[in-house]
Amino acid sequence: MATPLLAIENLSKSYGDVQVLKGVSLDVHAGDVIGIIGRSGCGKSSLLRCINGLETIDGGTVNLHGEFIGRVPHGSGWRHQTERELIDLRARIGFVFQQFNLWSNKTALDNVALPLVRVRKKSWAEARETAAEMLVKLGLGDKTASHPSELSGGQQQRVSIARALVMKPELMLLDEPTSALDPELVLDVLKVLQDLVAEGMTMLCVTHEMGFIRTFGSRLVFMDGGEIVETGDPRDVLSAPKTERLRSLLGTIQH
Amino acid sequence: MIDPQVIIDHWPYFAAGIWMTIQVSLAAIVLGFMIAFAVALLRTSRFRLLRGVASAYVEMLRNVPFIILLFIFFYGLPFSGIRLPEQVAGTIALSFFASAYYAEIIRGAMASVPRGQVEAARAMGFTYGQILRDIIVPQMWKFALPPMAGITTMTVKESSILSTITVAELTYQGIIVQGMTFAPFEVFFAIAALYWIFTAVLVRLFRIAECRVGSAELAAAARSPVASKYLTLEARP
């Protein structure tokens, strides 16, 4: 098998006395679409946040294309990377938040253009042109001048996806991208995600949209208590869960 | 009996006084704010030592009467070989005094900018400087301006203490005129009125600025889908 795009090995993370990740290992290959499910507090969000260095890693490694993220070899041991060292790595990974987290002092267009200007050092004119194209592609061509407060949740989430995509990430991390949305708006966002799958984008997506994972996911990861409990082809895992823990979770989710 | 003639006869003193008060106060407000911004950044530093220094600075200045701070600058510094003209020493002391209060306001206002917006920028590879400039500073004014108006008026009022080190500001000039005329009511009512006018103008400017930062958002909220659903005159079933 080819070397993975992202290799997570024995990752552990604690907040004080609470260990939220207890040795998670996961290989992600280019083009994989991995759905991560689990109860709240099982460590799935922490896993995504460790992958792009938003949280510090206590043990284990995260490796993107041969480069360690967050925790790097140092002498005979390991050390944490500084914020400045993490900047280049983060720019290669797209992150979509449950609460969108658009910048409320900027228009939709500038939300998408700003990272190109600041991180990719593009001119405003060029960045706005690229941003406008991306917004049109995501069905928001008429919303470029709107501020986040003037947009619906689904529109805001699509702007936030556009903001991640213009950076041409090697990998997208999505933390419950549809969980904060009204039911009728979920489909708009899922449609955008489907298009991404079709384009071959590598994605790690924490979600409870089982239909989406079943149809488009290449792998399902079920986490519980800070560990990966079950993983495999989504269709197999969902139709024949091996553990009681997954069965009881699936019982509580409509799918 | 109140005799307005006293004030009319001595108007050049009052004019010179209020002009000096305006200069000294505005300089202290601007300088104090700049110091405060640096102190507020230090208070959120990753390094504990810097955070400690910044919070010691704020606590020290907030727990000392301004007149003592002023005396340290004016009477104390010459002993260490630094001799500053009274106007300069007074302005610097007033800047430091105001900066301690502004620093707390700025720190609170920065912390009020939604955490998720900062995190989104971090996740995309922004530097902390870029996050400050693009996300935090533009959005902190809404939280900072209302309490800043109070501290700014306080700074103007405290500038009257500079009269004790013979800075020829409004209160000092009032004492001079009072000594020449023995008309304390006329003189000090006139001075009170001049302070009041100056602070009232400043507060008014702050209100205008608050409307600027607040109104932009209010207007956007009024055009939002949620608002158009509820803020409508149409009867809905």
Residue A7's φ and ψ, nearest 5 degrees, are: -120, 115
Residue B31 has pLDDT above 70, yes or no: yes
Residue B41 within any structural domain of the chain? yes
Write out pLDDT tens, residues A132-175.
Answer: 999 999 999 999 999 999 999 999 999 999 999 999 999 999 99
List the single residue in A with minimal CA-CA distance to B120: A101
Q: Note the pLDDT of residue B236.
A: 44
Residue showing tokens 């920065």: B110
Mean pLDDT, residues B132-150: 94
Name the token pair of A54. 């938003």
Q: Note the pLDDT of residue A252.
A: 82
The Cα A61–Cα A58 span in angstroms is 9
Residue B32 within any structural domain of the chain? yes
CB contact under 8 A, B119 and A97: yes
The Cα A32–Cα A169 span in angstroms is 14
CB contact under 8 A, A149 and B116: no
Q: Note the pLDDT of residue B134.
A: 96
Q: CB of B140 within 8 Å of any CB in chain A?
A: no
Residue B109 within any structural domain of the chain? yes
Query: What is the three-class DSSP state of A227?
Result: strand
Mean pLDDT, residues B152-167: 96
Mean pLDDT, residues A217-236: 94
Which one, of B65, B49, B141, B143, lies nearest residue B100 by Cα? B65
- Enter the ipTM: 0.92
Q: Are A104 and A148 in contact (CB under 8 A)?
A: yes
Q: CB of A145 within 8 Å of any CB in chain B?
A: no
Residue B2 within any structural domain of the chain? no
Residue A199's φ and ψ, nearest 5 degrees, are: -80, -5
Write out pLDDT tens, residues A7-22.
Answer: 999 999 999 899 999 9
Domain span at B133: 7-235
For chain A, what is the radius of gyration of the CA atoms? 18
**Strands A77-80 and A93-96, bridge-based pairing:** unpaired
The Cα B99–Cα B38 span in angstroms is 10
Number of domains in chain B: 1
Write out pLDDT tens, residues B68-104.
Answer: 999 999 998 888 888 889 999 999 999 999 999 999 9
CB contact under 8 A, A118 and B130: yes
Nearest CA of chain B to the CA of A118: how many Å? 7
Write out pLDDT tens, residues B44-53.
Answer: 888 999 999 9
Orientation angle between helical segments A153-165 and A124-137, nearest 10 degrees: 130
Residue B209 within any structural domain of the chain? yes
Write out pLDDT tens, residues A84-94.
Answer: 899 999 999 99
Residue B42 within any structural domain of the chain? yes
Q: Note the pLDDT of residue B72.
A: 92
CB contact under 8 A, A164 and B124: yes
Q: CB of B129 within 8 Å of any CB in chain A?
A: no
Residue A185 has pLDDT above 80, yes or no: yes
Which one, of A220, A217, A222, lies nearest residue A202 by Cα? A217
Choose the closest CB to B117 out of A104, A115, A119: A104
Residue B128 within any structural domain of the chain? yes
**Strands A33-37 and A203-206, bridge-based pairing:** parallel
Q: Are B180 and B10 in contact (CB under 8 A)?
A: yes
**pTM of the shown model:** 0.87
Residue B218 has pLDDT above 60, yes or no: no
Percentage of residues in chain B having pLDDT higher than 70: 90
Write out pLDDT tens, residues B164-216.
Answer: 999 999 999 999 999 999 999 999 999 999 999 999 999 999 999 998 887 45
Q: Which residues on B lie below 8 Å from A181 (Cβ)?
A: none
- Cβ burial, residue A19 (10 Å; 0-12/13-18/19+): middle
Determine which of A241-250, B48-57, B158-167, B214-223 has the lowest per-residue pLDDT on average.
B214-223
- H-type alpha helices, chain A: 44-51, 83-90, 108-118, 124-137, 153-165, 183-198, 210-216, 234-239, 244-252
Write out pLDDT tens, residues A60-91.
Answer: 999 999 899 999 999 999 999 998 899 999 99
Q: Note the pLDDT of residue B237.
A: 43
Choose the closest CB to B125 out of A88, A97, A150: A88
Percentage of residues in chain A having pLDDT higher than 90: 87
The CATH number of the domain holding residue B127 is 1.10.3720.10
Residue showing tokens 């023995």: B182
Q: CB of B114 within 8 Å of any CB in chain A?
A: yes
Residue showing tokens 């009032």: B174
Name the token pair of A183. 């039911």
Residue B133 has pLDDT above 60, yes or no: yes
Q: Note the pLDDT of residue B216.
A: 52
Q: Are A91 and A167 in contact (CB under 8 A)?
A: yes
Which one, of A151, A104, A149, A108, lies nearest residue B220 by Cα? A149
Q: Note the pLDDT of residue B198.
A: 97
Q: Note the pLDDT of residue B81.
A: 84
Mean pLDDT, residues A121-129: 97
Residue A254 banded pLDDT, cuts 50, 70, 90: low
Q: What is the DSSP string of B126-195?
A: --HHHHIIIIIHHHHHHHHHHHHHHHHHHHHHHGGGGGGGT--SHHHHHHHHHHHH--HHHHHHHHHHHH
Q: CB of B217 within 8 Å of any CB in chain A?
A: yes
Q: Are A23 and A228 in contact (CB under 8 A)?
A: no
The Cα A54–Cα A81 span in angstroms is 11
Q: Note the pLDDT of residue B219.
A: 55
Q: Are A151 and A143 in contact (CB under 8 A)?
A: yes
Q: Which residues on A lie below 8 Å from B124 (Cβ)?
A: 90-91, 95, 115, 119, 163-164, 167
Residue B1 within any structural domain of the chain? no
Which one, of B139, B134, B84, lies nearest residue B106 by Cα? B139
Mean pLDDT, residues B102-126: 96
**Strands A171-175 and A203-206, bridge-based pairing:** parallel
Nearest CA of chain B to the CA of A103: how many Å? 6
Q: Note the pLDDT of residue B83.
A: 86
